Structure 1
Amino acid sequence: MTGDTEQGAPAIRPQASTVAGEVPLCVDLDGTLARTDLLHEAAVRYIKQSPFALFHLLIWLLHGKAYLKQRLAERVVLRGDLLPYRADLVEFLRDERARGREIHLVTASPQAWADMVAAHLGLFDGATGSGTENYKGRRKASLLVERHGEGGYDYIGDHAADFPIWLTARTAHFAGRRGRIHSARVKGATVGQHFDVGERSRLRGLVKAARPHQWSKNLLLFVSITAAHQLFDFAALGRVVLAFVSFSLMASATYMINDMLDLDTDRAHPRKSRRPFASGAVGIADGIVAIALLSGIAIGIAVVLGAPFVVSLGVYVATTLAYSFRLKRAALVDVITLAGLYTLRIVAGTIAAAIPISSWLLAFAMFCFITLAIAKRCAELTGTQVSLDNKIAGRGYYGADIEVLAGMGSASTFCASLVLCIYTTQPYVATRYASPEILWLLCPILIYLLSRILILARRGHMDDDPIVFCVKDKITLKLVGISALVLVAAAYIHLPLKLIADV
Structure 2
Amino acid sequence: MTPAADPPVSLETCPLYVDLDGTLTPSDTLYESVMLFIRRNPFNLLRMLAWLLLGKAAFKQRLAGAVRPDPARLPYNERFVQFLREERARGRQLVLASAADVRIVREVAAHLKLFNDTLGTNARSDGLNLSRRHKRAAIEAHAGASHHTRWAYAGNSRDDLAVWEGSAQAVAVNAPPAVLARLQQLHPQARVFERQRLSLLTVLRAIRLKQWSKNALLFVPLLAAHSLDPHRWAMVALAFLAFGLCASATYLFNDLLDLPNDRVHRLKRLRPLASAAIAIPTAVLLGVVMMVLAFVLAFAVSTAFAALLLAYTATTLAYSMVLKRLALIDVLVLSGLYTLRIGAGAVAAGVDLSNWLLAISIFLFLSLALVKRCAELEELDDGIAKLAPGRGYQPRDLSSLRAMGMASGFLAVMVLTLYIDSQNSLALYRHPDWLWGAAPVLLLWIMRIWLKTGRRELRGEDPLQFALRDPFSWATLIAMGCIGLAATVGI
Give the match for residue 354 of structure 2.
358
Corresponding residue to 2:166 among 165, 168, 183: 168
Matches within 5 A, 1:97-496: 97-132=88-123, 133-148=128-143, 152-176=150-174, 178=176, 181-186=178-183, 187-195=185-193, 197=194, 199-201=196-198, 203-230=200-227, 232-387=228-383, 390-462=386-458, 463-493=460-490
The structural deviation recorded for 1:433 is 1.6
The structural deviation recorded for 1:441 is 0.7
For residue 185 of structure 1, give the secondary structure of its aligned residue in structure 2: helix
For residue 276 of structure 1, give the secondary structure of its aligned residue in structure 2: coil
Counterpart CA distance in 2 for 1:78 and 1:433 is 59
The structural deviation recorded for 1:176 is 1.4
Give the match for residue 8 of structure 1.
none
The structural deviation recorded for 1:386 is 4.7
Q: 1:120 to 1:389 in 2, by over 3 A?
A: closer
Deviations 1:190-224 (A, max 9, x none): 433222x2624165433221010000000000011
Counterpart CA distance in 2 for 1:454 and 1:63 is 56
Give the match for residue 14 of structure 1.
none
The size of the alignment, in residue pairs, is 473
The structural deviation recorded for 1:147 is 2.9
User: Any conservation in 1 of the 2:133–2:162 contact (CA below 8 Å)?
Assistant: yes
For residue 31 of structure 1, give the secondary structure of its aligned residue in structure 2: coil
Counterpart CA distance in 2 for 1:177 and 1:92 is 17
The percent of aligned pairs where both chains have the same amino acid is: 39
Q: 1:286 to 1:387 in 2, by over 3 A?
A: same
User: Any conservation in 1 of the 2:157–2:175 contact (CA below 8 Å)?
Assistant: no
Deviations 1:89-109 (A, max 9, x none): 111111111111000000000
User: Any conservation in 1 of the 2:12–2:90 contact (CA below 8 Å)?
Assistant: no
Q: Do structure 1's residue 65 and structure 2's residue 56 form an aligned pair?
A: yes
For residue 279 of structure 1, give the secondary structure of its aligned residue in structure 2: coil
2:158 is aligned with what amino acid?
A
Counterpart CA distance in 2 for 1:314 and 1:392 is 30
Please, which moves more after superposition, 302-311 or 204-213?
204-213
The structural deviation recorded for 1:387 is 4.5
The structural deviation recorded for 1:384 is 4.0
Deviations 1:92-137 (A, max 9, x none): 1111111110000000000110010000000000011101211011
Corresponding residue to 1:35 among 13, 17, 26: 26
Counterpart CA distance in 2 for 1:386 and 1:85 is 29
User: Any conservation in 1 of the 2:374–2:401 contact (CA below 8 Å)?
Assistant: yes
2:58 is aligned with what amino acid?
Y
The structural deviation recorded for 1:139 is 1.1
Deviations 1:218-261 (A, max 9, x none): 0000011011101x211000000000000000000000000011
Counterpart CA distance in 2 for 1:388 and 1:421 is 44
1:373 is aligned with what amino acid?
A
Counterpart CA distance in 1 for 2:272 and 2:12 is 40
User: Any conservation in 2 of the 1:172–1:190 contact (CA below 8 Å)?
Assistant: no
User: Any conservation in 1 of the 2:225–2:428 contact (CA below 8 Å)?
Assistant: no
For residue 100 of structure 2, give the secondary structure of its aligned residue in structure 1: strand
CA RMSD of aligned residues (A): 1.7
Q: 1:36 to 1:389 in 2, by over 3 A?
A: closer
For residue 168 of structure 1, give the secondary structure of its aligned residue in structure 2: coil
Give the match for residue 7 of structure 2.
none
Deviations 1:162-182 (A, max 9, x none): 00111111111111152x542
Q: 1:388 to 1:483 in 2, by over 3 A?
A: farther
Q: 1:378 to 1:67 in 2, by over 3 A?
A: same
Counterpart CA distance in 2 for 1:20 and 1:209 is 38
Q: Do structure 1's residue 78 and structure 2's residue 38 form an aligned pair?
A: no
For residue 395 of structure 1, give the secondary structure of its aligned residue in structure 2: coil
Q: 1:99 to 1:405 in 2, by over 3 A?
A: same
Q: Do structure 1's residue 46 and structure 2's residue 41 form an aligned pair?
A: no
Counterpart CA distance in 1 for 2:201 and 2:137 is 37
Q: 1:379 to 1:105 in 2, by over 3 A?
A: same
Q: 1:260 to 1:20 in 2, by over 3 A?
A: closer
User: Any conservation in 2 of the 1:173–1:192 contact (CA below 8 Å)?
Assistant: yes
User: Any conservation in 1 of the 2:12–2:92 contact (CA below 8 Å)?
Assistant: no
User: Any conservation in 2 of the 1:202–1:282 contact (CA below 8 Å)?
Assistant: no
Give the match for residue 26 of structure 1.
17
Q: Do structure 1's residue 89 and structure 2's residue 80 form an aligned pair?
A: yes
Deviations 1:40-74 (A, max 9, x none): 01011111111111111111011111111100111
User: Any conservation in 1 of the 2:11–2:152 contact (CA below 8 Å)?
Assistant: no
The structural deviation recorded for 1:354 is 0.6
